[in-house]
Amino acid sequence: MLLIKNSTAIKFFFIAALCLSCALGFAAQIAGTVTHLSGPLIAKKADGTVKVLSLQSAIEQGDTLVAEKDTYARIKFADNSEIVLRPNTQIKIDQFSFEEDKPNNDGFTMTLIKGGLRAVTGLLGKRNKERFGLNTPTASIGIRGTTFIAEYIPPDGNLAAYNMATTAALQVPTGTGNKTIRSDIDVPVAAILPLQLAANEEPGNRAGGAGSAGGAGRAPGLYVQVLDGTIFLRNSTGSLDVTAGQFGFAISFTKPPIILPNNPGMQFSPPGSFPANQSQENANNESKSGSLICEVR
């Protein structure tokens, strides 16, 4: 009887160990690799641990990446897509699932907590566009095969000023008062940009101000610039297409995204050692006999 009990216990232990091993293997699924870096990059792991990353460090599903001041970081994913993070950015890799011969398993979602990035679509986004998503507090970004820049400026603690900016962003002056911009967003918005949180506030003294890259003097919200292809901004009010050469803005999840008439002040200037696009990287690789030049500044 004792032998039977011991045998059962051993089997149970073996099965439990096998399940734990599989779970750990899934949790540690590698999504991409750091290929270029100009400063400190930190990964907050799903288990709460923190790791300082370097060139060729693996990026895993569940990681929250933190690009510090003066840090640009390029991440290349298994499907050949990429993101380049600008300084003072936080982004979480919520899901990455890609197998070249199993397109039905595709899935790629991220959450931009603050800061900005440039994204280039890879194979996953080209064959399953609906399974790519970049989420922010004011809108989600979907793609149709593209290259785009996204910047999210979170609101600071001054809720009154933020509410004033929100109201101003969705109204334009008319002969008899203010007219609310509706979801068809046919109303001109040039007169309300740039949006200031408060007339007497120094932009650099608030979140996303002059002290952080790309946010000087702008209201909180999601800003996008499409370099190639088309993206769409979606929230509770509906969806808005933004095409190559256009700028979009979403100030709140409950307010419709709008097309901006010109660049609201978005800036994205990685170091010269970072490839501007996939074709440039391929050219560099060929000229260096397949080697990838990575420079740390």
Distance of alpha carbon 258 from alpha carbon 252, whole angstroms:
11
In a domain? residue 3: no
Is the pLDDT score of 136 beyond 80? yes
120-124, 163-167, 191-195, 244-248, range with the lowest pLDDT = 191-195
Q: Are 37 and 294 in contact (CB under 8 A)?
A: yes
Amino acid letter for position 185 = I
pLDDT for residue 201: 32
* Structural domains of the chain, count: 1
Distance of alpha carbon 282 from alpha carbon 165, whole angstroms:
44
In a domain? residue 30: yes
Q: Are 218 and 198 in contact (CB under 8 A)?
A: no
DSSP 181-223: --TT--S--GGG-S--S-TT--GGGSTTSTTSTT-TT--SEEE
Which residue range forms the structural domain that includes residue 112?
Answer: 9-160+162-287
Dihedral of CA atoms 284, 74, 264, 93 in degrees, nearest 10, equals 140
The CATH number of the domain holding residue 176 is 2.60.120.1440
Distance of alpha carbon 147 from alpha carbon 160, whole angstroms:
36
In a domain? residue 209: yes
In a domain? residue 111: yes
In a domain? residue 169: yes
Q: Are 252 and 221 in contact (CB under 8 A)?
A: yes
The alpha carbons of the chain give a radius of gyration, in whole angstroms, of 22
- pLDDT digits 0-9 by tens, 195-231: 433 222 333 333 333 334 556 578 999 999 999 999 9
Is the pLDDT score of 290 beyond 60? no
pLDDT for residue 28: 53
Instruction: Please give the model's pTM, rounded to 2 decimal places.
Output: 0.71
Q: How would you classify the pairing of strands 107-120 and 132-135?
A: parallel
Amino acid letter for position 235 = N
CB atoms within 10 A of CB 186: 7
pLDDT for residue 22: 47
In a domain? residue 297: no
- pLDDT digits 0-9 by tens, 152-162: 999 974 444 44
